[in-house]
Amino acid sequence: MDFSLIVLTSGIVFGGACAILASNKHRDPLGWFVLGFLFSIIALIVIAALSPAEKQSQAERGRSQRREGNSEFASNPKDPERPWLG
C-alpha cells in the first residue's frame, strides 16, 4: 500500500511538472503528462532540454496541410464545377 501510494504520487508530480513545461513550450501537455507519469525524471529532463515549438496559427496549419496533400485537384481551378481540369 505504501509503495504504490509513493509511485502514484511521484507519477502525478512528475506528470504535472512535465505538462506545465510542455505547455510553456507550446507542446502537447496531455501527452507529456502521460510520459512524465510513466517515465518520471527521464521525461522531465527530456522536456526541459527540448526547445520551444513554433506556434502556428490555425490558418497557416490549414494552408500547409493543403499544400502537402497529394491531391489530384488543382489548387485554383478555373472551372469550380470541374476542378480536375485545372
Residues 20-53: tens digit of each pLDDT: 999 999 999 999 999 999 999 999 999 999 998 8
The pLDDT of residue 82: 67
Q: Mean pLDDT, to the nearest integer, of 59-80?
A: 60
The ranges assigned to domains in the chain are 2-68
Statement: residue 65 has pLDDT above 90? no
Say which DSSP state 55 is in: P
Note the pTM of the prediction, 2 decimals. Answer: 0.62
CB 20 within 8 A of CB 42: no
CB 30 within 8 A of CB 36: no
